[in-house]
Structure 1
Amino acid sequence: MTGRPPTTTLWRPTGPGELALVRESRWRAWPPRLPEQPIFYPVLNEDYAIRIARDWNVKHDGAGFVTRFEVETDFLSRYPVRQAGGESILELWVPAEELDEFNAHISGRIRVVHEFR
């Protein structure tokens, strides 16, 4: 019997521009990074994503969104967890050139779970 591989829940704080591109992908993929964005960094906990969306994206973009999505756990093992501050400020750093492969391992759809204006 074969089933879906185990997944890990990730969150991504984002602004309206990036979210529009995710919508264009039918909620299945993250858009390519801009030249000044060498990494894509999903975060490992919802609280951290909320803080970024609410405190940074709203200030800079007028709105902030928190997304939740699932990625195959085995695939994620190639990316070490990075502590970007306090104990709960955890991220994965995905090099921009690996984002297409990362997107291919997303299971299901990317969902908006919080919105701030």
Structure 2
Amino acid sequence: MSTTRTLYRPVGPKELALIEASGWRAFPPRLPEQPIFYPVLNEGYAIQIARDWNVPESGSGFVLRFEVDAAYLARFPVQIVGGREHEELWVPAAELAAFNAHIVGQIEVTQTFGAAVSQD
């Protein structure tokens, strides 16, 4: 029996559209200037990024929630990048396909900030 861990990801509208195109099952490949994929461990931190960074950068921000196989995640140490609530995992971009393969179920939007974007 496999257990999962809930993770969160703040994204802007372009990344959200690519995730939706995957059937809400995978994150898109990183851009060359983005060597790390960083899901975060709590929704409050994801909200801060989506609201305070994604909205000014692209007009809207979204918080995504998803489950990942906990045994697989054990290979990525928790990184603290500010205060204690700023916990994230650093997944090398080259390992994102393997990470996506360990997502259990669908990725879902839990929060929306800024301009409304259709999620049909």
TM bucket (normalised to shorter chain) is over 0.9
Q: Secondary structure at the match of 1:21?
A: helix
How many equivalent residue pairs?
Answer: 114
Report the AA paired with residue 77 of structure 1.
Answer: A
Q: Secondary structure at the match of 2:50?
A: helix
Using the TM superposition, give the Cα deviation of residue 68 of structure 1 relative to its aligned residue in structure 2, in angstroms. Answer: 0.1
Q: Quote the residue 1:18 is aligned against.
A: 15
Deviations 1:66-88 (A, max 9, x none): 00000000000000000010011
Q: Does 1:76 align with 2:73?
A: yes
Q: Which runs of 4+ in 1 moved over 6 A?
A: none
User: 1-side partners of 2:61 and 2:67: how far apart?
Assistant: 20
Deviations 1:9-40 (A, max 9, x none): 00000000000000000000000000000000
**Which of 95, 98, 101 is matched with 2:98 structurally?**
101
Q: Does 1:113 align with 2:110?
A: yes
Question: TM-score, normalised on structure 1?
Answer: 0.97
Gaps of 5+ in 2: 115-120
Q: Does 1:43 align with 2:51?
A: no
* Cα RMSD (Å): 0.5
Question: TM-score, normalised on structure 2?
Answer: 0.94
